[in-house]
Amino acid sequence: MSQPVVFLDFDDVICLSAPGKAGGYDAIHALDDVNSGRVPMEHYRAVWDNLFDKAAVANLLALHTEFNPSYVLSTSWTRLLNQADLSQILMQSGLCFILRSLHEDWETKKTSRSTRAEQIEAWLGSHSDVRSWVALDDEHSGDGFHEGHKRVVICEVGVGFTGVELAKARKILLGHSK
């Protein structure tokens, strides 16, 4: 049996849209400065420390600890950042558990017109061995999933992956891990 897979969106799942919080564009700007040699990585410690919501990450870590999944990034961040840059962001932000568990086919492929549901379905179509999976997404980008989809957990914008969503994700993985 294959390892469970978590399709992970960042925005409004673990990176919350909130005043005073860093976001994806802050991370991109910081990496541009660091990669150009203009500024050392440590200069952006506040970005790395505030990029991902601590409570949402703690809930994701609880899911990780219980199920030891592989992660496939279904986030729009993969349109703007390559795997090396995303790895730096995860490492600097303390999300090494995701980095260490990235599936070798680590992202869903995106086209200008594909929905998140179509991207995940296409990925799954190329990985017929995957039986147990859950998608963590948000109300804005979790498009294409029909109401009540059995393997998708939709997080509220600005709130993220709470204990309620953790319980839903656990139930999905427990129900499909047999």
**How confident is the model over 47-62, as pLDDT tens digits?**
999 999 999 999 999 9
* Torsions phi, psi for 114 (to 5 deg): -80, 140
Q: Among all chains, which residue has been given the structure tokens 């564009």?
A: 25
17-26, 38-47, 164-173: least confidently modelled range: 17-26
Structural domain total, the chain: 1
80-125 per-position pLDDT tens digit: 999 999 999 999 999 999 999 999 999 999 887 888 889 999 999 9
| The pLDDT value given to residue 178 | 42
Residue-number span of the structural domain to which 56 is assigned: 5-175
Beta bridge pairs of residue 117:
none
Q: Considering the entire predicted model, what is its pTM?
A: 0.93
Q: How far is CA 162 from the centre of its chain?
A: 14
β-strand partners of 136: 8, 153
